[in-house]
Each structure stands twice: as C-alpha cells, then as structure tokens.
Amino acid sequence: MQPEETLDTLYEGILDGEMNAAADYVQAALDAGLEPDTILKEGMIAAMTEVGELFEEGEYFVPEMLIAAKAMQAGLGVLRPYLVASGVDPIGKALLGTVQGDMHDIGKNLVGMMLEGAGFEVIDLGIDVSPQTFIDAINTHNPQVMGMSALLTTTMPKMKVTIDAMRDAGVLDSVKVMVGGAPVTAAFAQEIGADGFAADAGQAAALAKSFLTPV
C-alpha cells in the first residue's frame, strides 16, 4: 500500500471505531515509511477532530465517540515506543492528571508519552483527579512539574480550584504547574495562576524541560 493510502485507512478506521484493526493500521503506516509524528497528527488526531465535529452535528453520539477513542488508544499502543525514549536516566519527575469531573484521557496520555520521551519520570494519576489527590501526590512524589488536562469547558474551572487548594496546602511553590487541553488557553492559564500553558503534547514536554532550566 502507498503511504497515503495507509494514512487514509487509519483515519477511516478511527472514525469508524475499528478498535481491533487500528493497531494493524498504525503498523501498516509505519511499515510504509511514514513518520510517527505524521501518523499521529494527520491520521489519528485529525480523525478524532472529525469525531468531535460529527458529535457536535448530532451524527455521532457518546458510544461512537467512545469506540473511536478505544481505536485511538489501541493505535497509540503501537506508536508508544516511537514516542518514548528508553534507557536514559530521568531528568526530573512530572505529575499528570485529568481534572476532577473530566474523563478524557487521550491527550493527557500523549502528554505523558512525550514527557517520558523528554526524559521525565511520569506519575500519571489518571482521570477525574481531585485537588486533594494532586496535593497528596505532590507530597508523596516531590515532582518538579505538575500537569493538568481538561477537555470540557465545565471542568476547566477545576484547574483554578486545584491551584487554589495547592496554595492553601502550602505546596504550590514546590512545583511548576502547566495546564492544557482543547478549551484551555494561555490567557486562561495566566488568569488562574498556572506557570505555563501548552497547546499540544510536544509543547508540553518542551515547557516541562524549560521549567528545569534556571534562567
């Protein structure tokens, strides 16, 4: 198959939620010589964007979104080794989680992979993470960086709630906080007192690294 065809097959496979075939489609795209970054952005993230548009238009419902997400997760399993470096000593620790009330984790998982690829040890607290869980994990793991992800306009405010709770608990100054997720902006990050915002997983890894470099 031509490289472009493998990308189209992968795109359609995610759109149709072919969770058993998605991993093979990613492998076929790799075998055709496509770069992992191209496969991720043009094949997989682009398909999820269309899934979101179809949901907004009322053509897809939650079950369709869910199986598309499962297909994406299966495909990411194949890409993971290409995005994550191995055999290097960790340069720092990063804590990661999707904020309370929010179940979206694909973007957060990608951020985790890119952070690992950048040399961080990643402690992923998962989804629906309460402010207290973040605080407890800071006390347990002493990370240099903490990342919060939110995909819903209704859960974005939990980022501020978490930062405020961290301040009250006396742990805010011990860690650099970065935020991201589709509805999150740099202006919002500044407004809630986060140390930084990243628009995508690659930028998140670069930002996290920059936090380790004293200026």
Q: Using an 8 Å Cβ cutoff, are 124 and 97 in contact?
A: yes
Write out the binding residues for ligand B1M, residues 114-173 only, by CB under 6 A: 147-149, 151-153
Round to whole Å and give the CA distance between 210 and 32: 35
Q: Is 179 helix (H, G, I), strand (E, B) or coil?
A: strand
- Smallest distance from ligand B1M to CB 195, Å: 11
- Contact with ligand B1M (CB under 6 A) among 26, 71, 110, 172: 110
**Which span (22-30, 84-92, 134-142, 197-205) binds ligand B1M, by CB under 6 A?**
197-205
C-beta closer to ligand B1M: residue 85 or 103:
103
212 binds ligand B1M, rule: CB under 6 A:
no
Report the run of H or E that residue 145 belongs to, with start and end: strand 145-149
Q: Using an 8 Å Cβ cutoff, are 156 and 183 in contact?
A: yes
Q: Which residues pair with 46 in a beta bridge?
A: none
3-state helix, strand, coil in the chain (%, to 5): 55, 10, 30
**Which span (11-19, 81-89, 98-106, 162-170) binds ligand B1M, by CB under 6 A?**
98-106
Applying CB under 6 A, the residues found at the interface with ligand B1M are: 45, 48-49, 51-52, 55-56, 62, 65-66, 69, 101-108, 110-111, 147-149, 151-153, 178-183, 198, 200-201, 204
